[in-house]
Amino acid sequence: MTAAARPPLLDLRGVDVTLGGRLAVEQAELTVRRGDLLGLLGPNGAGKTTLLRAALGLVPLSAGHVLIDGLPPARARHLIGYVPQRHEFAWDFPIDIAGAVLSGRTRSLGRVRRPRPADRAAVDEALELVGLGDLRRRPIGELSGGQRQRVLVARALAVQPQLLLLDEPFTGVDVPTQDLLNDLFRQLADDDKGLLMTTHDLAAAARTCTRVALLNRTVVARGGPSLLADPEQMLRAFGLDTAIGAAA
């Protein structure tokens, strides 16, 4: 099968998600293909995290469908790496960096929960990719914000995914960590992986992403990074203040 004939790594069509009796995502349409680094931007409460969770199969759909490389999410977990926001991880758990990254491979460990050589090799590779190989035995409770973010990225990469979903990976990290992650994400896209990243950082998205989509409950616009300089589209997604800033 040629690259053009392959299904998208992520295909969301007509997706509605209802949470607490409120329509949080409405008729969302989004695709991520191999080589994409797609930035998903929108105001607080726009449904960005909800859309990621819908892609993971963690929230039920009221309408529409989600396919991962042609498969429903429940049958495609082995293809997906997920980086949640940092506050969602238990940083007070008594475990070191290597153990935290290994926890990303829970599904492959089986009932015995004993890591195999392949599991250890995947952890080692992921740690090297995020620059934490020398700190593997450091307790996670002693890490800085930037180091914690790199642990979460390594944990997702240890799955050896084809599709990487990232929820606000640049929030609260130092500049060296942001630069390292920017370079890593571009490298993964160049290696034929697909990435979908939510972010509030318009400048980082413009520099890093191959494509962007603007979300405000539904996808209001999509295109190249130059879309972020379009005041009309930014007004539709964010409102007046951000639109003026984008045009400045």
Give me the residues paired with residue 163 across strands.
80, 194
pLDDT tens-digit profile of 99-129? 999 999 876 665 556 788 889 999 999 999 9
Q: What is the mean pLDDT of the chain?
A: 90
Q: With bands split at pLDDT 50, 70 and 90, how would you rate the model's confidence at 246? A: low
Give the Cα separation of 7 and 127 in Å (integer): 30
Residues 159, 156: Cα–Cα separation, whole Å: 6
**Residue 244 confidence (pLDDT):** 44
- pLDDT at residue 247 tops 80: no
Find how far residue 185's CA is from the centre of its chain.
10
% of the chain exceeding 70 in pLDDT: 91
Mean pLDDT to the nearest integer, 30-35: 96
Give exposure, 26-64, as e/b (b: 16+ Cβ within 10 Å). Answer: bebebbbbbbbbbbbbbeeebbbbbbbbbbbbebebeeb
The rounded distance, in Å, linking the Cα atoms of 193 and 117 is 24
Per-residue DSSP letter, 78: G
Domain parsing of the chain, residue ranges? 3-90+161-247
Predicted confidence (pLDDT) per residue in 16-27, tens digit: 999 988 999 999
pLDDT tens digits for range 135-189: 999 999 999 999 999 999 999 999 999 999 999 999 888 999 999 999 999 999 9
Does the pLDDT of residue 54 top 90, yes or no?
A: yes
Stated pTM of the model: 0.89
Q: Looking at residues 44-49, what average pLDDT do you find?
A: 92
Q: Which of 45-54, 143-152, 163-172, 238-247 has the lowest mean pLDDT?
A: 238-247
Q: What is the mean pLDDT of residues 74-101?
A: 93
pLDDT band at 234 (very low <50, low <70, confident <90, very high): confident
Q: What is the dihedral of CA 192, 197, 200, 204, to 10 degrees?
A: -20
Q: What is the pLDDT of residue 110?
A: 55
Q: Domain 3-90+161-247 class?
A: alpha beta
